Structure formats: structure tokens, C-alpha cells
Structure 1
Amino acid sequence: MTHAPADLEARSSPSEQTVLSALKKYIPSPVPPSLKVSEQLHEQCLALLSEVDHLQGLLQQTLRNPQLVEVRQFRSNVIAELKMLQKLEQRFQSHPETTANSKRSKVQNGKSRASDAESDGDEAANEAEEDDDESTVEMRLMHALRSSNLPFYQAVWSIAKDSCRGLSALGKRFYWDAPVKRREKEPKVVAKQGGGGKQPNKDKRKSVFVDIVADDGEEWVKVSTMSESRLLFEMAKKGWERDSEDEYFSDAGSEVKPRRTVLRNFEGSDDDADDDEDELELIKLARDLRKAADATRLRYKHPRLRVVLSKIQEGNVPEIDDLLCEMRSYGVKVVCQDALSEISHGNSDLSHLLPRPFKRFTETLNVDCTLLLALVSDLSHAKEIEVSPSFHRAILRQIEVEKQQPLLPTELWPAMGGHELICTIEAGVRMREIVQLIGTETEKERTKIMMGDAPYTHIDRVSAIEKFQALSDWQVPANWKIPIKVVDAQPAITAAEIEGTLPSLAKQVAEGLSDINHSVFMYGWATGMTTISSNRTIDKQIEATVEKNRGTDETLEGPMVWICDTARSLAGKEKDRRP
């Protein structure tokens, strides 16, 4: 009859047990569970990095400024997680070897003292202690692996990839408090060129971190991987109570919402509610999202809010359903695990995550004078510009920018696409005046072709593009609709004011505009047409005036304006002339 190894060792004498322990080193040890988990996480981490790198590559290929989509911090977080896994793997590799060497050393010492029964007993105790140490290390490694943030990053990426479009950021903080006034004695912090700089006047406690900013900034998505058991434990700990007698209907009369008692360990007034750390984490999240969204407007609108609970099932636990109802009362769309299962995964095409800056363009575009000049400038059409000592420093900067990302093929022509193009009389007149005053001969000729001036008054689009192509180093798109039509803006503006198409605060907006800006921006507003411009200053001025005079009208919107990130001067600009 044969015996199992453990049974055989139990029936052996102390000296025989020492020999059997020595033989263990020749028996292959099973692979620790922690090593398998580590290898799996390592592979998943590399796969995630590969997809994020693929997205960054697409951004580099398609955007003039890829940094406008904030992905670097998310990638850095994943890399940090990868480094943590690599360190753990090094411990996996070193721990078994150390244990084996220790065992071999102790077995050799045990052989020289095999006749000493007391020494044999000590040896068995040492072996048991080693086994305990190895088990403890394994438990610690497994705990470290289970604490990895990688599953959360995977969830964020999966949700962004499967349910979002027009990505703006993977991770961004938004504030709802007004900036604190700086004390006179405090040193001023100057923001670095091209960066945001430090913001010591922002209170981080009055902010919320959004995991995904999508739909070109118009949607904020927060991801939670909290489990159902953890949520129930937190609800019990913090005093969430469900009492049918205290249920009440919402204002709409259609949704039942629970009242609950929140246990507190301090005395405080209602003003302290915002800082109440005893509030449930998900309720506080929904509330903070609402506050930050109410303090933020993008194109005159507050962002939409979505919270994804990837491990919470709706409809199973009444108390959890009550909590979800409370979250939704803040105007937050809550998506649970059951809804996520309907979304397909494994989409390798990431093009839908690219920004969509032209998604709300109207069929006809209203072109500002600043872009009319950029469309005919030698700086925009020549691949190689001979630098002249007479060039203004603004032109020198524009030449450097143009070398990195040419304006016309990467931004302006894609924006215009197949849209009909118009400009106001004032914009056209001012553009022609500038070209005649300081433009080169090629800039003057491009102006005549693009604007349909003599001798090209009756030229058709195909012929105009052929003529224009002869004056450009770039391939002029066949669908570019030139000549640009010139319109009289004032009748449309007056009619909109009389008919009430423009809001009453349009008068305040108009008061701060020059004649040319009045014609361009007010015409776009009056007709509902998208205005394209590089005049960011005027755009921000109009937006600030609208917000200042909004009152309680949450639906109020100003003109639809698309701002080109960079402008182009005419190459003929003299050195001492203002840019």
C-alpha cells in the first residue's frame, strides 16, 4: 500500500523528515497564484498602453495642436501602474530563489547534525517558519495586485472607447468656486508660456475630477468601479435609511425619492453640508458634479453629466435603487452594469474619439476679415518663405508655426469643406483695403480670384480654383466654394431686432463692437449662421457680455462662432507696423 507524501512524512522519524525535506527541492513547486495574476495584469497594461498610443498617433496625424486633447496624464498613470507591476514581478523572481537557497543551506546543516534529535526538531521548526514566511509574502503580493488601479483605468478607457465621441480629455479637474483674491504681499505666479501655470487661488476642496470629457467638452463622464457589497457597507455605516412613510414625490410627481438620515459625528449648521464627509461617496459625487457643471459653460451651455457604475446592478436592491434616484435628482444620467452590457466592446477603430470642431457648422459660413486675409497671405501658400529683415516679429512667429503645421491644408480648408461661403460688405472692404495697402502682388492676385473682383468677376468655381492653384504650393481642394459671396448685413440685423429673433441683450453686445465686427458677428447671430474667425478677443468679449446680462434665462445663447487657433498676416507687413 502506498502513502501520500504528506502521510509518509507524518509517519517518518525526525531524521527521515529532514531527508524528505531535502528532497523537496527536486520537486517542481507550483506556480504561485500571485505570479499568474501579475503576468495577466502586465499583459493587460501593455495592451491598454498600445491603444492609448494609437489614439495619440491619430491626434498627431489629424490635429494642428494634438495637445488640445488631454491624454498624457492618463497615459502617465497607466505607465506608473506598469512600473509597479514590474517591481512586483522582480519580487516574484527573487523570493523563490532566496527561499530555495535558505532551504538548501539549512538541509546541509541538518545532515551534519542528523543524529541529534533536538537539532532535528529545530530544523523542522525552521522549515515551518519558512513556509509561514513564504505564505505571508504570497498574501502580501496578492493584496498589492488586487489593489492595482489598472482595472479602473481599463474601465475608463473601455467606456470612453465604447460610448463617447469627440474626446477632449481623459481626466480633468473642474472648479465651482470663484478665484480667491490675492493678497497684496503675496508674490504673483506667472503662467508659463503655452501652459496653465500654478493656480494657488483655486480651492481643490471645491472641485471635482472628471474621468472623461467627451462630445468636444459638452459631456462629463465619471466612472465608478465601486462594488455592490462595498456600497451597501458604506450605506449601512453612514446611516442611509429607507422608510416608506417618508417617501415623497418629485416636483414632476412621477418619481419617488427616499429621505434618509445621515449620521454625523459633529454639530454643524446647514452651511456645513458641502463639507459633510459623512455623506455617501456617490451622492457627494453627483452633487459636486452638479456644482462644477453649473459654474461651467461651453458655447453658452452647461455640460451634460453622466456617471457610470460599472459594478452596480439596478433593480436588485431597493436601497441602492433609492440612492440612484437621489443621484439622478441632481440632473445626472446614471448608467449601471446592466446598461453597459448592451454596449459592444473591442472596437479597434478610434477615429470616433477625434475632436469634431465642425459638427455644428451651418450650411453657409460667415467668414470674418481675419480669415479672408489668412486665405490669401503668402505665409499660408508658400512652403518656403525667404525671411526678410523688414518682417515684423509676429510674421517671424507665424512662419515658424506654419512650418510645423500649415494652416490651410490642416485647418482652414477642412473647416470650409463644401460649405457655401459669404462675407459682409464691411469685412470684404476692409480686407481689400489692407491687401492694397501692404499686400504683395501674389496676395493681391489671390484676393481678386477669391473675391471675384475684376478681371474675375464672372469666373466659375472650377476656373477660380485653377487660377488660385497656380498661386499656391498646396493642393487647393476641389470643393472649396469660391468666389466668396459678399452680402449686406444690416437689413438682416435690423429685421432680427424688430422681429425679436435677437434677444434684448443684443444691444449691449453691439455697443462694444466696431463697425466691422458689428457687421460680421451680429449678422451671424441674426441669421443663425456660423461665423468663422481668428478674432478670439471679440468672441470672448461677446460671451462675457452675454453671461453678464443673462439673468435667469438658462437657454440664452450668443452667436455661433468657430475660432481658428492661429492667424496669418500678409507677408508685406512692414517691421514697424503693428501686427
Structure 2
Amino acid sequence: MTSIAESIRIYKEIFEQSALFTSNDDRLLVIDNWLDVPNDWTCSGIEGYHRWRMLIRAELIAAEELLQTNDANEPLISSNLIAHWTCWMAIINPAVSKHPITAVNKYLMLPKRQGHKGKPKSVKVDVVADAGREWIRLSNIKLSSILAELTEIDSLITSSEDEADPVDQPMPVPFLLKLGHELSEASCRHIIHDQRPAIHLYLTRLTPQEIADSDSRVASQLETLSLYGIQVHFGIPTYDLKLSPKPPRQPLKPSSNINLDVSTIIAFISLTTHIHDPAEASLKPNNANEHVRAISNQLRQESSVCALFDLVRQTCDTDTLQFWTTQENKERTYSIMEKIGGASEKRRLDCIFDGGDFWQGSRYSDSPVPGFPVKIISDAGEDVATASFDDFVLRRAQKALSSDGNMGSAGKVTSHTLRTVIAGLERGWTTLTSNRQSIKALVQGWHTHLHNNSSIATFWLVEPRSLSEQMLERSDRQRKLEQPQDSNADSKQQTVNSK
């Protein structure tokens, strides 16, 4: 048993070092080019980690208070030091818990039994590792406790046999078998990447030799655990945490093939994207603040602050650039532009898909951006090989699509947005969109990328356009009504006159 002074030293060491430990890359794979919006696309951290550290802090405070009235060399009785120390060793040792770690001291629900009243039972997993693919359970049970349990079961069996009218009741299940059964049951409810999580049980105070020299029923229990799919380990390897500066990360880049949603297709053909001098445009929106903000942001973005096609040219590898979208998005864009599009925008809409002089009358006509015409993604998935992205977001999008867009606590996402995102994720393509809220809902809880050394972004966010386009179009139509029409009306549409 560890002394009070030594326990305090160990608790302090764990508490101080745990403040510096990190398992996850601290950013999500999202390029964010919104104006005036914080770029807070960071991982949500390790669930339960802060709460676990606060438990250690409470133990440390209690031990320090005990030291004030007791000798430092006295043993610390009723301490959770062993449990916390073994958990810390499991957390920091990548040979035990593969990074990224997503949860500590997590309780996972068991299937609710038929006829059982109340909340379903749960089983504890000390560390959820490898982005949910591995569960680490630590048990500090001693061999003496296992043998005592067997003795008690033997006593119950003997007592039952001696009774003239034995009571028909089930015999108690040994702790290790009960634990193994519960972990196995829980894993069936938490399928990830088409597989149950791998379960590792660390018997931190047992050795193989002790088991071999003991009651054969102990070894039999461990064999049964393997039938449950549980890998049993003895002891817990010690590990010295080495905190070194992280190497500089590569900036995120879009994939060569970029998946477009409706908002970006409309932005690509919008008058404000191609107008020669957007800074001189004078619009007459209504007094709604969101309309004024949307228009001013778009004009500011197009006035060389963050112009859309300039942004594409600066960010992408233009030698291999190709834009794609779904047939559904093409049809939706035509439907929208039929209602709000001007003549030049409708002409560009045809050109963006079918070819033709897309850049006619554009301020980019002398330096067109590659990647056009936009190609249509095949429903058969023939466009690209296997996706390279971690499929956490893909599976979340697929699940939401099957639930009418319901994302639980994250709200709802429209079905056509989900289908667009899924088309990009299935192929490992960056999806270019202005739909910030939907993307935030989809990546909630996302911890990592399968290939962490990759710098390819999953999503690329740009400033929303649709509202300002509509307002610009209304302003332009009003101008046409107020001025005499002439044969050069379409070219005049490209300049919004100051009133």
C-alpha cells in the first residue's frame, strides 16, 4: 500500500502532466473562408477527460488534508490511486490506447431486457481509443478476490444440494464472466466502420504464471472471455510521457476534384461574381439587417477582399482542377434560376454544364479559371475509386438521410444537402459549400481523419450568396422597369448603376 506522501507525489504528477496531454489533432478538416466569422473548427476533445482530471484533483486535495494530521509514511487507505494510475498509463501509452482517444471513463448502455423496468444497465469502458474502434477496460481485481468468489459459489452450490426443497434460483455469475458478457453486449450496439469495437481487458494485478498455478476454473474463465471476442492482457506497461513540440502542419488544401452544392453553382454564375466593378454597385434592398449584411458581404468579397474565383485560383491546384455536382443539384439550380435569374445568369448556367463561352462579359474573361464545364457525378459511383476520408461523417450523413434529415441534438439537415455531402464523401472529394450550419451539424463529434498525414480538406466553406443574388436581381429588374429598354440590355445587366 502506498504511503500518503508517495500518493500525493503520484497524484500531482498525473494531474500536472494530464493538463498537457493531447490525443487528437486540434482541428477539423474544414477550410473556412467566411468573412467576419471565427474559424473555430476544432475537435471536441476527449469526452470525460476533464471530469476524470477533477476526480484526481479531489483525491489529491483529500490526501493533502490527511497529511496535515497523519505521518507522511502512513499508508493511504481507501484510495483510488491504483485505478487512476493504471488509467493514466493506458491513456498515454499508444501501445495500449491507439490515438485518437475519444473518451475516458465512458459508460455504455446495454440492450434493455424484455420485461425489465427502469433505465437499461450500462458497462464502463475506461478508454475509448482509435476513434472508437477499440475499448480498453482495466480491472484491478486480485487473484485472492477471484478465488474467494469461487469459494462462495461452491458454498452456494453445496448449500443448495443439501436442502430438501432447494430454491430454484440462478447461481451467481463470476465477476469476470459477467463483465465480459456486458462488454460484448454493449459492443454489438456500437458498430463503427462495419465492425464491433475491439475489446481489450487489462488485468493489471495478475500474471500468466499466477493463473497457471491457480484453480483451473480461473483459466477457464479467461478462455471464455476470448470466446466473447475479448483480448485479455496481464499487468499494465509503464510509460513515460514525452511532451515535444508538434511539427508544423501542412495547410489544408482542397482535392483536385471538387464537389459543388447548389449554393456554389449559383455563386459561380451570379452577376455579382462576374460584374466588372462590384465595389461601385448600388443596391436598394429592404431595411432588413440580414439583407443589408448579405449584400455588403458579397460586394466586399467580390471587391478583391476575397473574390470567389480569385479564392479558387489561390487555393486549388489549377492544373488538375475539376468541378462536379449531382444531377439533382443541376436540376435544382435550373429551377431556382428560372425564378430569379437574369439573362446573363441563365446563359452562364447553360455554359457551366454544357460548355460554351462561360466567361463572356466576365471580369475574368482574360484569365478564366479552369475546372469547367462542371461534370455530373454518376449515381453508379464510377467516377472515382475508394474514398480516402474517415467515414464518420459519411455514416452520420447516411444515418440522417434515412431519418428524414434528423441529426438529433444537432438539428435537421435537408435531404438534398445530405445527398450532396454523401456524394463527395463517398469519393474522397472536398465539398465546396456556403452551408455553414449544416456542416457544423454533420461534423459534431468528429475527431480525426483516417490518414492524419493528409492535408486534403473534407469541406470548404465560402460566404453565402443566394440572398444577395436575389436582392441584386430584384434591384436590376427594378432598374430595367425604370429605364428605356434597348438592344444592349443584357450587357447593361453587368453594371448596376448608382442612383
Which residue does the alignment assign to 1:328?
A: 226
Give the match for residue 75 of structure 1.
Answer: 50
The question of whether the paired residues in 2 share the 8 Å contact of 1:365 and 1:419 is answered with: yes
Matched, 1:34 2:4: yes
RMSD: 6.3
Partners of 1:283 and 1:344 lie apart in 2 by: 29
Aligned-partner Cα distance in 2 for 1:455–1:210 = 61
Instruction: Label 1:376 to 1:366 Cα distance change in 2 as closer, same or farther (>3 A).
Output: closer
- Is 1:313 the equivalent of 2:170? no
- How far residue 231 of structure 1 moved from its aligned partner, in angstroms, is 3.6
Partner of 2:465: 570
2-structure distance, mates of 1:208, 1:482: 52
Aligned equivalent of 1:150, options 80, 84, 87:
84
Among 203, 226, 239, the residue aligned to 2:119: 203
For 1:279 and 1:368, the matched residues in 2 are separated by: 57
Is the 8 Å Cα contact of residues 59 and 66 (structure 1) preserved in structure 2? yes
For residue 332 of structure 2, what is the aligned residue in structure 1? Answer: 430
Q: Which of 180, 183, 190 is residue 286 of structure 1 equivalent to?
A: 180
Residues 522, 392 of structure 1: CA spacing in aligned structure 2 closer, same or farther, 3 A cutoff?
Answer: closer
Aligned residue in 2 for 1:165: 99
For 1:132-147, what aligned pairs fall within 5 Å after superposition?
139=74, 142-145=76-79
Which amino acid letter does the alignment assign opposite residue 232 of structure 2? V
TM-score in terms of structure 1 length: 0.46
Shift of 1:143: 1.1
Cα drift, residue 315 of structure 1: 5.2
Distance 1:91 1:491, change over 3 A: closer
- Indicate yes or no: 2:60 matched with 1:85: yes
AA at the equivalent of 1:89:
E
Which runs of 5 or more structure 1 residues have no equivalent in the other structure?
Answer: 1-31, 96-133, 182-200, 241-260, 400-405, 469-480, 494-508, 541-561
What's 2:288 paired with? 389
Cα pair distance change 1:281/1:38, threshold 3 Å: same
| Residues 315, 321 of structure 1: 8 Å contact kept | no
Structure 1 Cα separation of the partners of residues 8 and 197 of structure 2: 39
Structure richer in helix, relative to its length: 1
Pairwise CA distance, 1:208: 1.7
Query: What SS is found at the alignment partner of 1:163?
Result: coil
Q: Deviations over 1:442-467 (max 9, x none)?
A: x9999999979654589xxxx99x86
Change (3 A) 1:218 1:432: farther
- The counterpart of 2:128, out of the listed 188, 213, 226, is 213
1:288 is displaced (CA, Å) by: 0.8
Q: What SS is found at the alignment partner of 1:89?
A: helix
Q: Which residue of 2 aligns with 1:222?
A: 137
Which secondary structure state, in structure 2, belongs to the residue aligned with residue 282 of structure 1? helix
CA displacement, residues 149-185 of structure 1 (integer Å, 9 cap, x when unaligned): 432431332346753123322232222335999xxxx
CA distance in 2, matches of 1:264, 1:564: 65
Are residue 369 (structure 1) and residue 258 (structure 2) matched? no
The residue type equivalent to 1:221 in the other structure is I
Supply the distance in 1 between the matched residues of 2:153 and 2:261 (Cα, whole angstroms). 61
Which of 14, 17, 25 matches 1:44? 14
Consecutive unaligned residues in structure 2, runs of 5 or more: 31-39, 274-284, 299-305, 383-400, 406-414, 443-456, 472-499
Checking the alignment, whether the CA contact within 8 Å between 2:11 and 2:81 is kept in structure 1 is: no
For 2:495, the equivalent position in structure 1 comes to none
Equivalents in 2 of 1:235, 1:303: separation in Å? 30
Q: Distance in 2 between matches of 1:376 and 1:263?
A: 83
Q: Which amino acid aligns with 1:428?
A: K
- Aligned partner of 1:59 in structure 2 is 26
| C-alpha separation in 1, matches of 2:168 and 2:428 | 51
Q: 1:569: how far off?
A: 4.9
Deviations 1:212-259 (A, max 9, x none): 22332233222223344444444444459xxxxxxxxxxxxxxxxxxx
3-state secondary structure, aligned to 1:367: strand
Note the C-alpha offset of 1:327.
Answer: 0.6
Partner of 2:191: 297
Q: Select the structure with the greater relative contact order (CA < 8 A; seq sep ≥ 6).
A: 2
Please list, as runs of the form range in 1=range in 2, the aligned pairs for 1:346-425 lying within 5 A after superposition.
346-348=241-243, 367=259, 369=261, 372=264, 389=288, 391=290, 422-425=324-327
Residues 439 and 571 of structure 1 are in contact (CA less than 8 Å); yes or no, is this contact kept in structure 2? no
In 1, distance between residues paired with 2:158 and 2:330? 65
Distance 2:245 2:126 in 1: 18
Equivalent residues in 2 for 1:488-507, closer than 5 Å: 489=378
Q: Within 1, Cα distance between the matches of 2:53 and 2:418?
A: 50
* Alpha-carbon distance between aligned partners in 2 of 1:287 and 1:203, rounded to the nearest angstrom: 19
Larger Rg: 1
Matched residue SS, 1:143: coil
Report Cα offsets for 1:241-280 as digits up to 9, x if no partner.
xxxxxxxxxxxxxxxxxxxx899999556xx7xxx7x322
Structure 1 CA distance for aligned equivalents of residues 351 and 107 of structure 2: 48
Give the match for residue 3 of structure 1.
none
Give the 5 Å matches for 1:95-114.
95=69
Paired with 2:129 and 2:286, the residues of 1 have a C-alpha distance of 42
Deviation at 1:326, TM superposition (A): 0.8
Letter in structure 2 aligned against 1:304:
A
Give % identity: 12
